[in-house]
Structure 1
Amino acid sequence: MKKIIVLFSLALLSFSAQAQEIKWMSFSEAIAAQKKVAKPIFMDVYTDWCGPCKMLDRNTFSDPGVVSHINQNYYAVKFNAEGTEEINFNGKKFTNPNFDPNRKGRNAMHEFTGFLRVPGYPSMIVIDEKGSVKKTMVGYKTPEQLRADI
């Protein structure tokens, strides 16, 4: 019976370690959270067609060290650079008026993507508590590279 309890406990610990993930939120949620507790925003700017973006999700954003660091130090936002989310930031409204819901592959760029001057995908952007872009990291990063950069 003791062995069963030990094995069950180990299985639960293993599952909880694997289940840890970044607490992603919308940009609007992150701005609201910043007003309550000041922390910078870590924004993953991606597109649906971007292979390196998918690799970031699969390899880097699932790394326990990256997950822990981002969750503790940032409000994490996933932002589709070609999506339709309405963004209100610094008194301006940003949309994607040219988005084509029937288009396959690449689509129109969201106005907020242009405002942030995103140079390519994936891009990871750190926005401080005052709304200033402090850092832009472009391209795929391994867990070790990302932890060293943020």
Structure 2
Amino acid sequence: MKFRDVIFRFAILGSFLLSGICFSQITNHQFEELENLQKSEPRNVIIFIKTYWCHYCKVLENTTFKNQKVFKIINQNFYFIQFNAEEKRDINFAGKIFRYKPTGTNTGIHKLAETLTEGKTTYPSLIILNPQNEIIFQFNGYLKSSEFLEILDKIKP
């Protein structure tokens, strides 16, 4: 094997290893998993309520949630749920079944998003629940990484 081939193989291997570091992300859970997760290891839950058409939701996803410090703190200390407020499937959460509620021909909102935002649904919304599913923090709008880190530092165990 030539020296050039060895260097090329190391370069390929290195790029694969680095891509895993650069593209780390927050572990996303489903509402239906929370009961079992909380039994094994109680944690606060961060719920990111969004829609696919929301510009600020995408900015939050691509900046704040991609911040290395943010996703490390979330993955180590919280459960995270990314929730599309226009989800059409029924969701069983906290002993209740929540359903999609049409509001027009091609529009609607999931009743769980409406419940979690206490009827004041805007996008994006961040809700933090304690292990007993009680709201301990609520914010509607975009947060910079630095702002979100301050909040996480105050709430994390």
TM-score (norm 2): 0.81
Q: Match for residue 110 of structure 2?
A: 110
Deviations 1:1-60 (A, max 9, x none): 6x9487567545532221210011211123321122111111100011110001011111
The code of the aligned residue for 2:113 comes to: T
Give the aligned length: 146
1:37 aligns with 2:41: yes
- Greater Rg over alpha carbons, structure: 2
The code of the aligned residue for 1:55 comes to: V
Q: Match for residue 143 of structure 1?
A: 145
Q: What is the root-mean-square deviation of aligned Cα atoms in Å?
A: 2.3
CA distance in 2, matches of 1:132, 1:138: 17
Q: CA deviation at 1:126?
A: 0.5
Percent identity between the two aligned chains: 27
CA distance in 1, matches of 2:131, 2:25: 23
**More divergent stretch after superposition (3-12 vs 55-64):** 3-12
Deviations 1:44-95 (A, max 9, x none): 0001111000101111111111110110111110111121132223322111
1:46 aligns with 2:50: yes
The code of the aligned residue for 1:114 comes to: E
- 1:25·1:77 contact (CA, 8 Å) conserved in 2? yes
- 2:31·2:93 contact (CA, 8 Å) conserved in 1? no
The alpha-carbon distance between structure 1 residues 78 and 99, as it changes in their structure 2 partners (threshold 3 A), is farther
The code of the aligned residue for 1:54 comes to: K
- 2:64·2:145 contact (CA, 8 Å) conserved in 1? yes
* Equivalent position SS for 2:66: coil
Report 1:1-150 matches (<5 A): 4=7, 11-98=15-102, 103=106, 107-116=107-116, 117=118, 118-150=120-152
Consecutive unaligned residues of structure 2, counting only runs of 5 or more, are 153-157
- 2:101·2:109 contact (CA, 8 Å) conserved in 1? no
